[in-house]
Amino acid sequence: MNRIRTLIVDDSSVMRKIVERALRQAGLELSTVLEAASGVEALDLLHREQVDLILSDINMPHMDGLEFLRQMQARNLAPDTPVVMITTESSEEHVREAIAAGAMGYIRKPFTPEQVKDRVLPLLDAV
């Protein structure tokens, strides 16, 4: 697998590092890891940067992960990039909302590197 450029969107800097570490422990070769603390910041990054994978929290201030996904689609930003939501939300309604908004996967916190690997690798292989 090629080295991948990843965008991690979460309002917690600690959680962004945890996600990055889980990706590395899952065996992904990351060439670049971009970080955004909100959906607004992530959209700005996507105007300037190309990425191979996006992992985003749902619950964030200013613009939540679902609105971030909707805005990505509306602006045609990273249209072929897989997006995986990582969140504490556990209801099936949130899962359906995330998928309807364009997410290709969903990981519930707390998670293990193995869960990240199982959810992310098939998406990268399909692209």
Q: In what order do the strands lie in the sheet with 53-56?
A: 30-36, 4-9, 53-56, 83-87, 105-108
Residue with more model confidence, 1 or 22 = 22
pLDDT in tens, 56-69: 999 898 898 999 99
pLDDT in tens, 19-67: 999 999 988 889 999 999 999 999 999 999 999 999 999 989 889 899 9
Residue with more model confidence, 33 or 88 = 33
HEC readout, 20-43: HHHHHHCCCCEEEEEEECCHHHHH
4-122 has which CATH code? 3.40.50.2300
The band of 126, judged by pLDDT with boundaries at 50, 70 and 90, is low
**Domain segments of the chain as ranges:** 4-122
The band of 94, judged by pLDDT with boundaries at 50, 70 and 90, is confident
pLDDT of residue 89 exceeding 90:
no
pLDDT at position 26 is 87
